[in-house]
Structure 1
Amino acid sequence: MLVLLPPSETKRPGGEGMPLDLDALFLPALRAPRETVIDALVALSADEDEAARVLKLGAKRRHEVADNAALRTSPTVPAVDRYTGVLFDALDAATLDASARSWLGRHVAIHSAPFGPVGALDGIPAYRLAAGTSVPGLPALRRVWADATRDALERAAPGFVLDLRSEAYAALGPVPAGVPSVYVRVVTEGDGGAVRALNHFNKHAKGALTRALAASGAQVDSLDDLLVWAGREGWIIRPQAAGEVSLVV
């Protein structure tokens, strides 16, 4: 199984790992678009004011221009530890034991805007770039990433894919049609069984679900396996339209 997570806008600074090694990242076939996006971000960072405008950075976040300027040379940390925010706080990967972290490394990828999907334990630097940002010198990020990521995923033959990404990041790398997958929508049920989608708690639920999968060492190779695991572990997951499930919280 491959679990696809969205990134977070907020990230831990610094790091102790070696600088970014594109050849060591998940889906090494994406090296060319990775190089293209990194080059464009580094070039943009030469003009701090323009970079701050493009990246929509206020005064307190302008230091992130320097993060982009140093993408190739700054220290790295595992991606799952780099990101902060609601989803990654709920996942809380730093408190998982070695076996669960190893599970994350084998089964989880985080879909970043500058690097595409990276493995949970792949070392990445701090950066600033969102899925919807238009970077000078680049076509829309969807045009940079979508076909290349779909092809790379198809070649990687990941088996069953559990897609927990936001729609913006799913658009940057659609799961190939021939790969069995489900897209997860987080919902809650009110009185009378009325169902509504969640926003803030959507991220928390996805992080908690990923943590539970890792902590249990889940062996999931199909939707049926996922439903069996969910029933055993106390999660409510219901099939919906073709290719989608609801996570009820």
Structure 2
Amino acid sequence: MLILIPPSETKRAGGRLRPLDVARLALPSLTVQREAVVDALVSLAADEDEAARVLRLSASQRAEIAANAQLRTAPTMAAIDRYTGVLYDALDAASFSPAARAWAGRHVLIHSAPLGPVAALDAIPAYRLGASASLPALPPLTRVWGHAVTGALAGASPTFVLDMRSEAYAALGPVPASVPAVYLRIVEERDGGAVRALNHFNKHAKGALVRRLAHDRPRVSSLAGFVRWADAAGIRVREGAPGELQLFV
């Protein structure tokens, strides 16, 4: 099983690992795209006003431009530790056992805007770039990443993909049709049986789900296998629209 999750706008600063080496990241077929986006971000950071405009930064956020300027030289940390926010607070990777971290490293990809999907334990620097940004030196990110990410996922040959990305990040690289996959939606059941999709709480539920998976480390290779594990774990899921799975909270 391969799990795709979104990044977060908020990130921890610093790190203790060596600077970014794109050749060491998961899905190495994406190296050309990664180099191009990193180069574009570093170049953009040289003009603070333009960077603030392109990245839609407020005055208080301008300090984040410096992180982009140092993408190739700044210390790094594991991607699963870099991100903060609701999903990553619920995930609480800092409390993972070594076995849980190793499992996440093998099964979880975090889809970043400048580097594409990276493994949970891949070493990455802090940065500022969202899925909807358009860098002056490049085509839209959907064109930079789309077919390349889809091809890289196909090349990884996963037996089953659980896609938890937001729709903006899913658009940066749809799962190939050749790979068995399901898109996870977080929902709640209202009075009368009506189902409503959740927004804020969907991030918490996704983080908690990945945490439980890393703790249990199930051997899941299909949607049916995931559903069996969820049922045994007391997690309520059911198939929704074609290609989608609903998780009830």
**TM-score grouping bracket, smaller chain normalisation:** over 0.9
Contiguous gaps of at least 5 residues in structure 2 = none
The corresponding residue for 1:97 is 97
- Taking the aligned partners of 1:155 and 1:64, their CA distance within structure 2 comes to 34
The corresponding residue for 1:125 is 125
The corresponding residue for 1:184 is 184
Root-mean-square deviation (CA, aligned residues, Å) is 0.6
113-122 vs 55-64, which deviates more?
55-64
1:33 is aligned with what amino acid? Q
SS at match of 2:155: helix
The corresponding residue for 1:87 is 87
- Taking the aligned partners of 1:185 and 1:231, their CA distance within structure 2 comes to 17
- Taking the aligned partners of 1:158 and 1:117, their CA distance within structure 2 comes to 14
Alignment of 1:189-208 (within 5 A): 189-208=189-208
The corresponding residue for 1:67 is 67
The corresponding residue for 2:39 is 39
For residues 48-68 of structure 1, the C-alpha deviation after alignment (integer angstroms, 9 at most, x for no partner) is 111011111112211111100
How much has 1:191 moved relative to structure 2?
0.9
The corresponding residue for 2:2 is 2
- Taking the aligned partners of 1:236 and 1:96, their CA distance within structure 2 comes to 24
The corresponding residue for 1:162 is 162
For residues 202-233 of structure 1, the C-alpha deviation after alignment (integer angstroms, 9 at most, x for no partner) is 10000000000000011110010011000110
For residues 113-166 of structure 1, the C-alpha deviation after alignment (integer angstroms, 9 at most, x for no partner) is 000000000000000000000111111000000000011111111220000000
The corresponding residue for 1:236 is 236
How much has 1:241 moved relative to structure 2?
2.1
Alignment of 1:138-157 (within 5 A): 138-157=138-157
Aligned residues: 249
1:122 is aligned with what amino acid? D
Q: TM-score if structure 1 supplies the norm length?
A: 0.99
The corresponding residue for 1:217 is 217
**Percent of pairs identical after alignment?**
64
The corresponding residue for 2:56 is 56
Q: TM-score if structure 2 supplies the norm length?
A: 0.99
For residues 62-91 of structure 1, the C-alpha deviation after alignment (integer angstroms, 9 at most, x for no partner) is 111110011011000000000000000000
Contiguous gaps of at least 5 residues in structure 1 = none
User: Does 1:113 pair with 2:110?
Assistant: no
- Taking the aligned partners of 1:247 and 1:21, their CA distance within structure 2 comes to 37
4+ runs deviating over 3 angstroms? none
The corresponding residue for 1:15 is 15
